Amino acid sequence: MTRRLFLALALSLAAAPSAMAQDPVDPSLAGEELPSIDHLLTGLETNLNFDTRSARIRMTVVNPRRTKVYEIFSYGRGLDESTMEFLEPARERGTRYLRRGDEMWMYLPSIERTQKISGHMLRQGMAGSDMSYEDMTSSTDWAEIYDGEITAKEDVDGRPHWRVELTAKTDDVTYAKRVLWIDAETLIPSKQELYAISGMLVKRWMMSNVQELGDGRSYPMTMRIEDTLRDGTYTEIETTEIELGIELEEEVFSLRWLERG
Amino acid sequence: MWILRLAFRNALRNVRRSLLTAATVIIGVALFVIFLTYLEGASKMMFEETTKYIGHAPIADTDFIERENLRPMYEYIPDAQAVVDAALAEEGVTDAFAVIESGVAISAGDELGDVFGMATGSQEGWYERIGLEDNLAEGVMPTGPGEWLMGSKLVEKAEASLGDEIILFGSTQDGSLSPLKGELVGVIHSGAALTDRSVYLSLEEMQFMVDIEGGAIQVLLYTDDTMNAHEPAAALQASPVMEGLTAQAWSSREPYNQIVPMMDVIQGILAGALVFLTALAIWNTMTMSVMERTAEIGVMRAMGLSRFGAVGMFVVEAGAIALLGGILGVLLGAGPAWYLETTGITFGEDIADQMGTDYAITSTMYGDFTAGIAVRGVILGIVMAVVGSFIPSLRAAAVQPVEAMRHGR
């Protein structure tokens, strides 16, 4: 009897640490059928990327001193190719950007030169906005770059969202950690918090004004980016027109187009 | 007066010792004159050169000043001309100019390079004030927008030549990439790193680059008294156009608010060290004098010389020697001081380049020998003698007449 009691006690003591070591499940997930991370990220990527598209965009850059509004026209193909041309204001008119994979170039009409954006320039905000060139060139194949975990189910703007924490697999990623609130229905990340390797929160991305496009996907027509390291600044990117499945010539994603338009 | 006559007579009694004492004072004073000539000359040059570029009382947005090291270009003066006009209306202000300075990457020719420097844009009057044309080493002065001057250090790094197309990559007040294109028409060489690492444009071109139409990052005030710019700055601060802006005398701004008092400290340490060393030598010779004249002092004390009188006798004797030594020391030091004033000491451009990013240091720094330095030298010589002779003279005052006369037998 004593021996059995001792054995039971020993087994329970052995089991206790391992039980204690498991992360406590968020109460919001109790009883929920959790989707897989792959499903969420694949759905997100499907919504935000296109075979081909053209779009007209209004970018509003707000800082404590002033607000500046840019009108931009953009072409895109898949995940890796896009171009942009600034239409307004007059100072920026004719400035063009070309992105191919993780490389980016800009054409500056005032000096009639093409400049490759590399090195420290990548960290600068495009046209002084809170969206850096690095943000624009970094891969959106998050399933490849991050390990993910659903940590809660929360309401955002009255809609249920999955709270997903993504942790970078390697150190050479711009944001070592991302916390996403993915709409459970539309699979749009309504809110993101982006963290540096130090653990400091560096940016917030919000996506809203979600509309259903012709091919059944949901697309956020408005994005807001806040740089938490700068007080009183944010950038709002509003898609005013979008057209999918357009025919695009190969030349559109070439340096030749960049320089000549 | 009798003490003076006695002091001179005693000084001549042992000429060798008196000359030794005088020589100590001469060397000490000469060294003081030489070092002070260079110290004051170099610091005066540095301050004059620096205030030439930064103004006697720079005006900037208060938030800009707080984070000046980060150069937040969005904290600018919106209506620069209004501030210039208000400044010129103040008593004591002789000039005021709007200036914009920003870091840029510089390219020359077809290659897009990675040379970094400062782009400066201001009004023509400011370039006249800083004597830019006097430092034109090659080429011509600009005649209009798109024609630029560049410092020799930048020209060398960018491998540029006169007539080359120059591209500057700066940024707007929002941090957006902002390029400008111009032609290199002249090269500036002043020997000062601050000047030789800059590109000089018009104010309007810099306003376009930084995207602050009509604005400036600073308005530089020049007054009729470099060392006393506080008063006009304070008077201007009360003006309504100065809302959100601060006018600050250059000597109150970093790092000059530490350098100016530091120069006084260095001078004090220098003087103190020379006084100490020279006084030690004088102490030695005067102690010997007291010991040799113990009997004589006893007789004089017996005849009514007071303790004060005994102290005074030796101090005045040392002072008389030091007065002569001080004058000769100044004359001895005047030669090297004149050399420092006319020829200076050349550090070499590498050292000036390394030191000259915050301070306008030229590769050759000159001394400045003034009447004030000569007077201070003579006074210092007397101080050396008084300090050195005081303790021996106290010993003389403590001599008991009977003991002293017995000692002399």
Q: Tell me: the pLDDT tens digits for B217-260?
A: 999 999 988 878 888 999 999 999 999 999 988 888 877 788 77
Query: Which DSSP string do the residues of B46-105 spell out, in sequence order?
Result: HHHHHHHHH-SEEEEEHHHHHTGGG--TTS-BS-HHHHHHHHHTSTTEEEEEEEEEEEEE
Q: Which residue of A60, A61, A65 is the best one to mutate when testing the B interface, meaning the one whose CB has the most B CBs within 10 A?
A: A65
Averaged confidence pLDDT in chain A: 86
Q: How confident is the model at residue A24 (pLDDT cuts 50, 70, 90)?
A: low
Q: Which residue of A97, A106, A113 is the best one to mutate when testing the B interface, meaning the one whose CB has the most B CBs within 10 A?
A: A113
Question: How far away is chain B from the Cα of A239, in angstroms, using its nearest Cα?
Answer: 21
Token pair for B345: 């000491």
A106 touches chain B (CB under 8 A): yes
Cα–Cα distance, B387 to B315 (Å, whole number): 9
The predicted-structure confidence for A88-141, as pLDDT tens digits, reads as follows 999 999 999 999 988 899 999 998 889 888 777 788 888 989 998 888 877 777
The pLDDT score that the predictor gives to residue A60 is: 96
Residue type, B239: S
Sign of the four-CA dihedral B287, B288, B291, B293: negative
Three-state secondary structure call for residue B380: helix
Q: Which residue from A63, A108, A121 is facing B179, i.e. has the nearest CB?
A: A108
The pLDDT score that the predictor gives to residue B381 is: 82
Question: How far away is chain A from the Cα of B261, in angstroms, using its nearest Cα?
Answer: 37
Judged against a pLDDT cut of 80, whether residue B310 lies above it is answered with: no
Judged against a pLDDT cut of 80, whether residue B91 lies above it is answered with: yes
CB pair distance less than 8 Å for A64 and B175: no
A78 touches chain B (CB under 8 A): no
Listed residue (B59, B70, B342, B352) closest to B195, CA to CA: B352
B398 touches chain A (CB under 8 A): no
B177 touches chain A (CB under 8 A): yes
Residues of chain A positioned with their CB less than 8 A from the CB of B171: 124, 128
Residues of chain A positioned with their CB less than 8 A from the CB of B181: 110-111
Question: How far away is chain A from the Cα of B168, in angstroms, using its nearest Cα?
Answer: 10
Burial of B226 (0-12, 13-18, 19+ CB in 10 A): middle
The pLDDT score that the predictor gives to residue B352 is: 54
Question: How far away is chain B from the Cα of A72, in angstroms, using its nearest Cα?
Answer: 15
Query: Which DSSP string do the residues of A46-86 spell out, in sequence order?
Result: HHH--SEEEEEEEEEEE-SS-EEEEEEEEEEETTTEEEEEE
Contact present, B31 and B355 (Cβ < 8 Å): no
Judged against a pLDDT cut of 70, whether residue A13 lies above it is answered with: no
Averaged confidence pLDDT in chain B: 85
Listed residue (B274, B273, B260) closest to B333, CA to CA: B274
State the residue for tokens 């975990």. Answer: A149
B179 touches chain A (CB under 8 A): yes
Three-state secondary structure call for residue B220: strand
The predicted-structure confidence for B19-43, as pLDDT tens digits, reads as follows 888 888 888 889 889 988 988 888 8
The pLDDT score that the predictor gives to residue B351 is: 60
Q: Cα-Cα-Cα-Cα dihedral of B232, B235, B236, B240, to 10°?
A: 180
B78 touches chain A (CB under 8 A): no
Judged against a pLDDT cut of 80, whether residue A52 lies above it is answered with: yes
Cα–Cα distance, B209 to A126 (Å, whole number): 16
A65 touches chain B (CB under 8 A): yes
Find, in chain B, the residue whose alpha carbon is nearest to that of A118. Answer: B114
Judged against a pLDDT cut of 90, whether residue A173 lies above it is answered with: no
First to last CA, chain B: 31
Judged against a pLDDT cut of 60, whether residue A17 lies above it is answered with: no
The pLDDT score that the predictor gives to residue B154 is: 92
Contact present, B355 and B330 (Cβ < 8 Å): no
What ipTM did this prediction achieve?
A: 0.75
Least confident range from A121-130, B116-125, B139-148: namely A121-130
The pLDDT score that the predictor gives to residue B68 is: 85
> Mean pLDDT highest for which of A216-230, B5-19, B32-46, B109-123?
A216-230
Residues B117-123 have a mean pLDDT of 95
Contact present, B120 and B99 (Cβ < 8 Å): yes
Which residues, 6 or more positions from A57, have their beta carbon under 8 angstroms from its beta carbon?
Answer: A71, A72, A73, A74, A84, A237, A238, A239, A240
CB pair distance less than 8 Å for A106 and B172: no
Residues B112-140 have a mean pLDDT of 90
Listed residue (B189, B183, B253, B191) closest to B218, CA to CA: B253
Higher pLDDT, B160 or A118: B160
Which 110-129 residues of chain A touch chain B by CB within 8 A? 110-111, 113, 115, 121, 124-129
Residues of chain A positioned with their CB less than 8 A from the CB of B112: 113, 115
Q: Residue B232: is the preceding peptide bond cis (ω within 30°)?
A: no
B364 touches chain A (CB under 8 A): no
pTM: 0.73
Residues of chain B positioned with their CB less than 8 A from the CB of A115: 112, 169, 177, 179
Residues B320-329 have a mean pLDDT of 87
Contact present, A112 and B180 (Cβ < 8 Å): no
Judged against a pLDDT cut of 80, whether residue B321 lies above it is answered with: yes
Least confident range from A44-48, B190-194, B378-382: namely B190-194
CB pair distance less than 8 Å for B172 and A126: no
Q: Which residue from A106, A108, A128 is facing B174, i.e. has the nearest CB?
A: A128
Residues A6-19 have a mean pLDDT of 47
Which residues, 6 or more positions from B197, have their beta carbon under 8 angstroms from its beta carbon?
Answer: B117, B118, B151, B153, B154, B357
B138 touches chain A (CB under 8 A): no
Listed residue (A104, A48, A53, A100) closest to A74, CA to CA: A53
Residues of chain A positioned with their CB less than 8 A from the CB of B173: 65, 128
Give the 3-state DSSP-derived string for B344-378, with helices as H, strands as E and coil as C.
CEECCHHHHHHHCCCCCCCCEECCCCCHHHHHHHH
CB pair distance less than 8 Å for B176 and A124: yes
Higher pLDDT, B238 or A24: B238
Cα–Cα distance, B329 to B381 (Å, whole number): 8
CB pair distance less than 8 Å for B181 and A110: yes
- Pairing verdict, β B177-188 and B147-151: parallel
CA distances in angstroms from B361 to A130, A254, B99, B187, B349, listed in the order given: 40, 50, 21, 19, 10
Higher pLDDT, A210 or B299: A210
The pLDDT score that the predictor gives to residue B358 is: 53
The pLDDT score that the predictor gives to residue A20 is: 42
Q: Which residue of A60, A97, A106, A115 is the best one to mutate when testing the B interface, meaning the one whose CB has the most B CBs within 10 A?
A: A115
CB pair distance less than 8 Å for A64 and B171: no
Residue type, A192: Q
Higher pLDDT, A201 or A119: A201
Judged against a pLDDT cut of 60, whether residue B353 lies above it is answered with: no
Least confident range from A21-30, A111-120, B323-332: namely A21-30
Least confident range from B1-10, B152-161, B241-250: namely B1-10
